[in-house]
C-alpha cells in the first residue's frame, strides 16, 4: 500500500500526466472526421445564386478552389450587395448530406433500390430512351429554373425530339403572363419599379418575403427608411420616404414591415381590387381599355367588398384616396400570400389599377420589360415557355384525355412533391421513364428511373 501511494504521489510530481494530457488533446484533433481548414490561394468569384428565387449576385470566397463563404456582390445590378438568408447558406448547402451522397448517376432496379452507375452508362441510357420517344409528344420536360438560360438548351433539345411539351414549374410569372399577354393582348413581361415608388399597395403579394425579386424589393423598401441622427441609445425617428400598405390574411413579413396591415380573407384580392376600381372611378379616374372592368366594378360597393373580403369601407376608402394622390409615385402589386399564383384575374386587376391611377409605364409604377430573344436555335421563347400549363397537362393525363409521355425529364424541379395529388401523378406516370437532373436526392429523385447529379 505504501508503495502504491508513494508511486501515485510521485507521479503527480513528474511531467508524465501533463505530457499524456497534451498528447491526447493533439491526438483527438487528428480523427478523420474532424474538419480541416483548406489551404491555397484565397479568391472571390462573382456568381448568381440559383437557390434563391431572387437570383441575387454573390461573391463566393474560394480557398484552394473550394467555396468557403458567400457575400453580396455590390456590382450586381439587381441586388447591389444584398443577399437573402437562402443565398448566404448556399455554400454550406454544397456540403449537405443530401447532396454529398449524390455523387454518381443512380439507376433504380425492379425492387426500387438504387445503384451507382458511370456517367457514360447514364448518358447512353438517356440517349436510348429519348430516341425511342422521338416524334409526337412522347417526351415531356419540366424545368425548375424559371429564369436560367439553360432553358434554351433543354427546350431546343425537346423540340429536336419533335415535342413541344416543355414546362416550367407553376408560379406567379406564368399567371401574370397569361393575364397580360393572353387576355389583355400585351407584349413583354410586367415589371415593378419599387425603387422609385413612394406608395406601394400590395394586395396579397408578400413582396418582402416570397413574391418576386425579394432581395431587390427589400433593398428598395429599406432605402426609403433611412436612420435619423444618432441619439442616446439609438437613432432619431425620421418619416419614411415610401409608404407600404399590405392587404392579406396573414401577418407575414410584408404585413409586419408595412406602415399599415389591412386584414383580409384569403383569395379576396380580386374583390378588393374591384372595390378600389369603383372608388377611383367615382373620384374621376379613368383609363383606356378598361370599360369592361369598370362595368364589372359597379357591383362591388364597399358593403359588398366587406362581405367578400372583410376589408372595411373605411379602409377601402382610405386606400383609394392614397391611390388617387397624384403627388406621389404609386404602385399596386397583386399576388398570392405564398408566391404560387393568385390567378389570372388577380393579375388583370393589378394591371387595371395601375392604368387607372396613371402608374402604368410611369416611374415608380408598373413597367413592361422586353423579352430576350433566344440565342439557341429551336429554343422556346420565354413567352411560349410561360404559356405552358404543367398542372393542366398532368390533369389531362390523370383523366385519360391525354396520353402519358414515354419519357419525362426533370431539371432541378420536384413535381412529385410540389404539385397537387402526387400519388395520383405517380399512378398516371407509372409506365413513363422518369429521368431526374437534380442537386439533391428529393421526392422526384426517389420516383425516377435514372438520377443524374448536377452542380448547384
Mean pLDDT, range 211-216, rounded to an integer: 89
What gap in Å lies between CA 84 and CA 434, rounded to an integer? Answer: 33
Q: How many CB atoms lie within 10 A of CB 283?
A: 11
Instruction: Please check the confidence at residue 11 and state whether its pLDDT lies above 60.
Output: no
DSSP class of residue 239 equals -
Instruction: Please check the confidence at residue 331 and state whether its pLDDT lies above 90.
Output: yes
Predicted pLDDT at 363 = 95
Q: Write out pLDDT tens, residues 223-251.
A: 888 777 777 777 777 788 899 999 999 99
Predicted pLDDT at 305 = 97
Instruction: Please check the confidence at residue 146 and state whether its pLDDT lies above 90.
Output: no
Instruction: Please check the confidence at residue 8 and state whether its pLDDT lies above 70.
Output: no
Instruction: Name the band, by pLDDT with cuts 50, 70 and 90, for residue 410.
Output: very high
What gap in Å lies between CA 366 and CA 330, rounded to an integer? Answer: 9
3-state helix, strand, coil in the chain (%, to 5): 40, 20, 45
All structural domains of the chain:
42-95 (3.30.200.210), 100-172+372-453 (3.40.50.740), 192-363 (3.40.228.10)
Mean pLDDT, range 297-325, rounded to an integer: 96
Instruction: Please check the confidence at residue 100 and state whether its pLDDT lies above 60.
Output: no
Predicted pLDDT at 273 = 96
* Per-residue cell: 399: 383523366
Q: How many CB atoms lie within 10 A of CB 391?
A: 15
What gap in Å lies between CA 46 and CA 356, rounded to an integer? Answer: 42
Most confidently modeled range among 260-274, 369-383, 392-406: 260-274
Mean pLDDT, range 160-170, rounded to an integer: 92
* Of 11-15, 93-97, 100-104, 414-418, the least confident: 11-15
Mean pLDDT, range 168-178, rounded to an integer: 87
Mean pLDDT, range 390-412, rounded to an integer: 92
Percent of the chain with pLDDT over 70: 94
Predicted pLDDT at 101 = 66
Residue 83 and residue 70 in contact, taking contact as beta carbons nearer than 8 Å: yes
Predicted pLDDT at 10 = 60
Instruction: Name the band, by pLDDT with cuts 50, 70 and 90, for residue 437.
Output: very high
Instruction: Please check the confidence at residue 9 and state whether its pLDDT lies above 70.
Output: no
Whether the pTM exceeds 0.95: the reply is no
Task: For the chain, give the mean pLDDT.
Answer: 88
Q: Write out pLDDT tens, residues 55-72.
A: 889 999 999 888 989 999
Predicted pLDDT at 340 = 63
What gap in Å lies between CA 220 and CA 237, rounded to an integer? Answer: 19
Sheet containing strand 330-334, edge to edge, reads: 260-263, 243-248, 199-203, 330-334
Top pLDDT among 97 and 288 is at 288
Give the angle subtended at the CA of 268 by the CAs of 265 and 271, to the nearest 5°: 135
Helices within 191-337 (DSSP H only): 214-223, 253-257, 269-282, 291-297, 302-309, 313-323
**Nearest partner of 104 among 112, 114, 89, judged by Cα:** 114
* Per-residue cell: 372: 430576350
Q: How many CB atoms lie within 10 A of CB 355?
A: 22
Q: Write out pLDDT tens, residues 252-304.
A: 999 999 999 999 999 999 999 999 999 999 999 988 989 999 999 999 999 99
Say which residue the cell 409605364 belongs to: 361
Percent of the chain with pLDDT over 90: 55
* Of 28-32, 109-113, 196-200, 321-325, the least confident: 28-32
What gap in Å lies between CA 116 and CA 108, rounded to an integer? Answer: 9
Cα separations in angstroms, 313 against 34, 50, 158, 260, 310: 63, 43, 52, 15, 9
Predicted pLDDT at 421 = 85
Cα separations in angstroms, 456 against 38, 146, 168, 447: 21, 15, 18, 21
Most confidently modeled range among 85-99, 117-131, 171-185: 117-131
Cα separations in angstroms, 25 against 33, 36, 38, 184: 15, 16, 21, 72
What gap in Å lies between CA 445 and CA 253, rounded to an integer? Answer: 33
| Helical (H) or strand (E) element with 141 | strand 139-143
Instruction: Please check the confidence at residue 175 and state whether its pLDDT lies above 90.
Output: no
Find the distance separating the first CA and the last CA of the chain, reported in whole Å: 68
Amino acid at each position: 500500500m505504501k508503495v502504491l501511494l508513494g508511486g501515485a504521489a510521485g507521479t503527480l510530481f513528474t511531467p508524465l500526466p501533463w505530457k499524456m494530457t497534451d498528447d491526447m488533446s493533439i491526438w483527438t484533433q487528428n480523427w478523420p472526421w474532424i474538419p480541416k481548414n483548406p489551404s491555397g490561394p484565397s479568391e472571390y468569384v462573382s456568381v448568381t445564386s440559383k437557390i434563391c428565387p431572387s437570383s441575387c449576385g454573390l461573391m463566393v470566397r474560394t480557398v484552394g478552389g473550394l467555396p468557403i463563404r458567400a457575400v453580396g456582390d455590390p456590382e450586381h445590378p439587381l441586388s447591389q450587395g444584398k443577399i437573402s438568408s437562402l443565398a448566404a447558406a448556399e455554400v454550406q448547402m454544397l456540403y449537405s448530406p443530401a447532396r454529398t451522397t449524390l455523387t454518381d448517376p443512380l439507376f433504380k432496379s425492379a425492387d426500387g433500390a438504387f445503384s451507382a452507375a458511370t456517367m457514360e452508362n447514364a448518358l447512353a441510357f438517356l440517349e436510348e430512351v429519348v430516341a425511342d420517344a422521338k416524334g409526337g409528344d412522347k417526351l415531356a420536360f419540366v424545368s425548375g429554373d424559371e429564369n436560367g438560360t439553360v432553358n434554351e438548351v433543354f427546350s431546343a433539345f425537346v423540340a429536336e425530339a419533335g415535342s413541344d411539351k416543355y414546362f416550367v414549374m407553376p408560379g406567379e410569372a406564368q399567371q401574370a403572363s397569361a393575364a397580360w399577354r393572353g387576355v389583355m393582348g400585351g407584349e413583354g413581361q410586367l415589371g415593378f419599379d419599387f425603387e422609385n415608388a413612394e406608395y406601394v399597395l400590395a394586395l396579397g403579394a408578400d413582396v418582402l418575403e416570397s413574391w418576386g425579386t425579394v432581395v431587390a424589393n427589400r433593398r428598395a423598401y429599406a432605402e426609403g427608411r433611412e436612420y435619423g441622427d444618432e441619439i442616446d441609445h439609438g437613432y432619431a425617428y425620421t418619416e419614411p420616404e415610401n409608404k407600404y400598405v399590405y392587404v392579406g390574411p396573414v401577418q407575414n413579413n410584408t404585413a409586419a414591415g408595412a406602415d399599415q396591415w389591412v386584414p383580409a380573407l384569403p383569395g379576396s384580392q380580386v374583390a378588393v381590387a374591384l372595390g378600389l376600381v369603383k372608388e377611383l372611378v367615382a373620384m374621376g379616374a379613368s383609363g383606356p381599355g378598361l370599360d369592361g372592368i369598370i362595368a364589372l366594378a359597379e357591383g362591388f360597393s364597399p358593403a359588398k367588398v366587406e362581405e367578400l373580403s372583410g376589408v372595411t369601407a373605411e379602409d377601402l376608402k382610405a386606400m383609394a384616396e392614397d391611390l388617387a394622390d397624384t403627388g406621389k409615385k404609386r404602385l399596386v402589386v397583386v399576388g398570392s400570400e405564398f408566391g404560387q399564383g393568385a390567378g389570372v384575374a388577380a393579375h388583370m386587376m393589378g394591371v387595371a389599377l395601375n392604368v387607372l391611377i396613371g402608374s402604368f409605364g410611369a416611374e415608380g409604377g408598373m413597367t413592361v420589360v422586353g423579352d430576350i430573344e433566344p440565342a439557341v436555335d429551336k429554343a422556346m421563347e420565354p413567352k411560349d415557355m410561360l404559356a405552358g400549363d404543367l398542372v393542366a397537362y398532368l390533369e389531362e393525363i390523370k383523366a385519360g384525355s391525354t396520353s402519358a409521355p414515354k419519357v419525362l425529364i426533370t431539371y432541378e424541379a420536384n413535381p412529385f412533391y410540389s404539385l397537387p395529388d402526387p400519388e395520383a401523378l405517380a399512378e398516371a406516370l407509372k409506365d413513363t421513364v422518369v429521368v431526374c437532373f437534380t442537386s439533391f436526392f428529393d421526392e422526384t429523385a426517389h420516383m425516377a428511373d435514372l438520377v443524374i447529379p448536377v452542380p448547384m
